[in-house]
Structure 1
Amino acid sequence: MGIKGELLLMAASPLFNGNSDMAGFTNNDGTVLFNTTYDESKWQRAADALKTAIDVAEANGHKIYYKNDFTFDVSQTSKTKINIRQAICEPFNDEVIWSNTNSRTYWLQRTCMMPLSNVVPAREARMIFSPTIGSASKFYTKNGVPIEEDKTLDFSDITKIREASPEDALNILEGYRTSILNFDREPRFYADLGFDGAIFYKQDSNADETKFHIESKFQDYAGSFDAFDFNISGYFIKKVVNWEYNFNSDGGGSYKEYAWYRITIGRFVFNVCRSS
């Protein structure tokens, strides 16, 4: 049912729903593969199929993931960010419906992770998978709208620098100076992306704390000064790194493996919203 909902959403999308750019794309018998006529009802059909998938998943014990086993006090803002990350990284949690047990995520995490101190070598936190600035700009503001539609915030010049205040301290190191693009954004922005000055939470059995921050200007420990392992855009992928990442005594790191997810109930909920 999940696969059906995903396919119907693809059929409703602009790629296959009224795509005149692909009008001449056919298979061997001449069948047109991209529908050039837009059909609004396809969105409702996709939403209905995804809602059915949600109902069946919930009836079989699946639900949105929330981490409830913290052994220390943590703010609601931090919980939200960790919930978003761990919904993917927590092995076989209640949100996951189908995951690939033959997959390994060690290398994915290692190539996404950025050093959080000057004792972690680039080989253990290679940070070479770089989200684009365009993708960072797609996340909404704290007011729940695209950055270009927010009437109270101005992101027109992302080269402007701003200093983080105490009110920003759960997302950006207080007193740190970074781009205005990194301020006043929605929770998914801070859960999914790392950037210069960003707070990074991790449960490290070798450390006395869980709250770290990223320093990634040119000569900083997460900066782009290495000949091979460097970040192109200045943004990092936090989303796929399990928060049970440890610093080792030799300066290296260890990652908790998880099976890469194919379908989750959270994705159904998100796609219903897209369809509706």
Structure 2
Amino acid sequence: MKHTIVRYTLAIIGLFSVTSCTDYLDNAPDDILTLDMVFNSKNRTEEWLAGIYDGIPDPYTPMMRNYDAYADDFSPSQDWRAFSDWDCIDKILGNWTPQSEWKGNFWSDFPVRIREAYIFLDNVKALPEQEVYQADVDNMKAEARFLIAYYYYLLVNTYGAIPFQTSLVDMNDPIDKILIGQTPYDQIIDWLDKEFKAVSELLPPSYTEERKYGRATSVMALAIRARMLLFAASPLVNGNDDPDYAAYTNNKGEAIFNSTYDPKKWERAVNACKDLLTEAEGNGYALYKEYNGDGSIDPFMSYSNMCYKEFNQGNKEILFARPDVSYDLYSQHSVPRGSRGQGGLGVTQELVDAFFMSNGLPAITGYEPNGEPIINKASGYNESGFSTQPDVRKTKWIEGDKDAKESNTENTIAPAGTFNMYVNREPRFYVSVLYNGAWYRQSSRYVDFYYEGEDGRPASGSLWDAPQTGYLLRKRVHPETNILNYSIPYRPGIICRLAEAYLNYAEALNEWAPEQTDEILKYVNLVRERAGIPQYGTGKDSNGLDKIPAPADQTAMREAIRRERRVEFNCEYAIRFDDIRRWKQIDILRGDFYGMNKFGTEKSCDKNNENAYFKRRVEITRAFSEKNYWFPIHQNQLDKNPNLRQLPKW
């Protein structure tokens, strides 16, 4: 193996401070390198490892189109179906078969990264004369092991049933040893559980050298382990009584999924979450917070800048991030058309409905069969009429109105005349959603989403770049983004953050030991505290707000945790779609989805006025079904490997 010829085509990314591959590829025939040439060079060794890192999915535009958009947060313009990059829309509409291409491409890409990582483990060595010492080798090996486990986690999380190898496959082996069948799900999870834990004991919790930002840490390993074990304990793969799952076997006749419920899987998830919290909090990780002049938490600035601040800028909430990400298209797609953006990446009415009111109570508790919302009257929510007074809050956030200033002790976050649906909502709503009539600071104007309005659908010309649901995405679109001068500020690609660790722990503990109410609420309340809404309990909370009654039992607590996840992680990398899948709630993604009336030309909420903008209208009818709990194995892979078995219901 030491003299095997390899074609070195792995991309070099900005995770390491390394030299360009151009210098040595110019001296190699047709970019052919031997493994000796690679691993006798410090630069080439680091570049090889960097190439393995390059497979970590980008949590902005590519993954948003290829994974996140399947959930019920994003609502991309249906007219973008004309572009191949947006085939997610066809899939949402039910046009997804094993012959369909999927641009996430996990099945093809990750096995290559895994194989390269195993080659790395077999060949990396100390080069003292080049200042690569055994301690460096040991750390790089732990990084490679983390990457192998991470890519296997993503594969099994996406497909459920995958071929699984724990060492490098000799390509000279008989074909039946290379084209293997699928390993039972629980066996893979057990191996990954041990491997993530083992590498966490070898890796540092963080790096002091800025050039190493993004490299594997103990906290990253434990964060993915906790997320994985929460999924493995959830209804989809823990006691799923669907007969199609019970009958689903691999080529050896082994059941892929265990249909017997095991409560100890929740205990394992609880312990994994505890391990993560101990390691993270013990090494200075904390929720990102900004403060008002009086020392109170500023929830608007905290929740907004949590998305943009880097780890070395004090954002110790980040547990795992990819440093180089393609956020430019994400931003362009979300900026209004009248401000030179592509203005068609919006959010669903269902997401708007999910946000709490400022008093911490849910606004909408469900829907009637005809789609009408069931309004929680105790919350004070109202979706008729327009405000007569500005909605003013204690914050330095200046995105709410023209007179807002960072020097103010209070600022308007929704001006007078705002549709009442958008008044008195919690801070996370305003940071996440751009609604018709909202202030848009970069253009010094209020957005105009009316039909034929400055940001709406033009009477002639392209119909692609307009808000389909009456909303555009605001979350993770940096407030300093200005497409007019193509200024799009940097932000890290956050994959895991501490708020998720808190709610993961609360959920797992509620399933395993629901009597531990105080412990469960502690972590839910930490998230609500930073969000600036009342916490659960009695008396005053840490923000001086009146607490609201705690959920009465395990079922109510489960629902409260799920609501909190829905809001806190809206429009973030993969979380919502994975939650819907693991909870076995795919029905959420089936049927009519709503928005405002994008054809409306009048500032009216009169349901009987066809020109009224501010009334609910069906935007899209989604067609996901139970087969969509897993992604299908492409037919060409089944044709190549007769030992593979397609996922249930595909």
TM alignment of 1:30-49, pairs within 5 A: 30-49=253-272
Match of 2:241 in 1: 20
TM-score, reference length from structure 2 = 0.35
Instruction: Kindly provide the CA deviation profile for residues 5-54 of structure 1, in whole angstroms up to 9, marking residues without a partner as x.
Output: 00011112232233333524443334434443444443443233223212
Inter-CA distance 46–198: structure 2 relative to 1 (3 Å threshold): farther
Question: Are 2:326 and 1:104 aligned?
Answer: yes
1:192 to 423, 427, 432: 432
Q: Residue 126 of structure 1 aligns to which amino acid in structure 2? A: Q
1: CA distance between counterparts of 2:280 and 2:295?
30
1:105-126 CA deviation, whole Å, 9 max, x = no partner?
11112212336xx5x22xxx22
| TM-score (structure 1 length as normaliser) | 0.75
- Structure 1 distance, partners of 2:283, 2:493, is 21
CA shift at 1:64, angstroms? 1.0
Q: Structure 1's 25 and 224: CA in aligned 2 closer, same or farther, altered over 3 A?
A: farther
Any idea what SS the aligned residue of 1:239 has? coil
- TM-aligned CA distance change 1:67 to 1:38, over 3 Å: same
2:360 counterpart letter in structure 1 = G
Corresponding residue for residue 317 of structure 2? 95
Conservation of the 8 A alpha-carbon contact between 1:215 and 1:223: yes
Which secondary structure state, in structure 1, belongs to the residue aligned with residue 502 of structure 2? helix
**Aligned residue type for 1:36:** S
Q: 2:224 maps to what in 1? A: 3
SS in 2 for 1:134: helix
Given the alignment of the two structures, is residue 84 of structure 1 paired with residue 298 of structure 2, yes or no?
no
Instruction: State the alpha-carbon separation in 2 of the partners of residues 40 and 141 from structure 1.
Output: 35
Query: How far did 1:171 drift?
Result: 3.3
- 1:274: Cα distance to partner? 3.2
Question: What is the alpha-carbon distance in structure 2 between the residues aligned to residue 222 and residue 74 of structure 1?
Answer: 38
Structure 1 residue 59: Cα displacement = 2.0
For 1:161 and 1:51, the matched residues in 2 are separated by 47
Quick one: distance in 1 between partners of 2:237 and 2:335? 36
Once residues 110 and 261 of structure 1 are traced to their aligned partners in structure 2, the CA distance between those partners, rounded to angstroms, is 19
Q: Any idea what SS the aligned residue of 2:274 has?
A: helix
Match of 2:362 in 1: 146
Matched residue of 2:494: which SS?
strand
Match of 2:488 in 1: 255
Matches within 5 A, 1:81-230: 81-92=300-311, 93-114=315-336, 118=338, 120-121=339-340, 125-149=341-365, 150-153=376-379, 160-163=384-387, 165-167=389-391, 170-176=412-418, 178=419, 180-199=420-439, 213-225=446-458, 226-230=462-466
The offset of 1:182, in angstroms, is 2.5
2:451 alignment partner, SS class: coil
Shift of residue 220, structure 1, vs aligned partner: 3.0
What is the CA–CA distance in structure 2 between the aligned matches of 1:140 and 1:33, rounded to whole Å? 40
* One-letter code aligned to 1:29: K
Q: 1:2 offset after TM fit, Å?
A: 0.7
Cα distance, 1:66 vs structure 2? 1.9
SS at match of 1:88: coil
Specify the alignment match of 2:12 in structure 1: none
**8 A Cα contact 2:347 2:469, kept in partner:** yes
Higher RCO (CA < 8 A, seq sep 6+): 1
CA–CA distance in structure 1, aligned partners of residues 488 and 235 of structure 2: 39
* Matching residue of 2:93: none
Residue 89 of structure 1 aligns to a residue in which SS?
coil
Aligned counterparts, 1:235-254, within 5 A:
235-246=471-482, 251-254=484-487
Structure 1 portions without partners, runs of 5+: none
Equivalent in the alignment of 1:60: 283
Rounded Cα–Cα distance in structure 1 between residues aligned with 2:506 and 2:446: 33
**2-structure distance, mates of 1:255, 1:75:** 31
How well do the aligned residues superpose, as a CA RMSD in angstroms? 3.3
Number of residue pairs matched? 252
Contact 1:105 1:259 in 2 (8 A): no
Letter aligned with residue 238 of structure 1 = R
Secondary structure of 2:279 counterpart = helix
Segments of structure 2 that go 5 or more residues without pairing to the other structure are: 1-221, 366-375, 393-399, 401-411, 511-650
Question: SS of 2:495's equivalent?
Answer: strand
Q: Percent same amino acid at aligned positions?
A: 24
Query: Between Structure 1 and Structure 2, whose CA radius of gyration is higher?
Result: 2
Quick one: distance in 2 between partners of 1:273 and 1:214?
Answer: 39
Structure 1 CA distance for aligned equivalents of residues 267 and 426 of structure 2 = 27
